[in-house]
Amino acid sequence: MENHDQALYYLKKQLQLAWYLHSDLNELEAYDSMGIEYYYLGNINKACFYHNRMMAGVMEGDTDVKRWNMRLLEEEFKVKDVRNRMSYSSIFEEYRNAKKHGNPFVFLHENVRNRKK
């Protein structure tokens, strides 16, 4: 993917969703992928930070940043959920299936675009 900034946007959404659903595995996958994107952007410090975090299995604790991001995500989905009547867990399951069988960024992009209608 050439648009690394857009990839980071969606990876941060993945991280928020992983926190919201208490998914350690997906939190670590987000850190790993963010490290790769920062590497491609030439930001070696952030690339190493996220890569090392993933390798050491360091998850975000119960911090203000995590709680704030989870609230943001919840509010975003509440607005969208009213329109689409789709549960949070089904969105996450669709994402995981897309990740197994192809490019998860396509799923996230399509999902966000369809939900804005």
pLDDT tens digit string along 74-92? 887 775 654 555 555 666 6
pLDDT recorded at residue 98: 67
What whole-number distance in Å separates Cα of residue 50 and Cα of residue 38? Answer: 9
The per-residue pLDDT string of the chain (117 residues; one tens digit each, 9 = 90 and over) reads 478 888 999 999 899 888 888 889 999 999 999 999 999 999 999 999 999 999 999 999 999 999 998 888 888 777 565 455 555 566 666 666 666 665 555 545 455 445 444
Give domain limits for the chain: 4-115
Residue 109's alpha-carbon distances to 41, 44, 62, in angstroms, are 21, 27, 29
Residue 18's alpha-carbon distances to 1, 53, 80, 86, 88, in angstroms, are 22, 15, 18, 17, 11
**What is the model's pTM?**
0.65
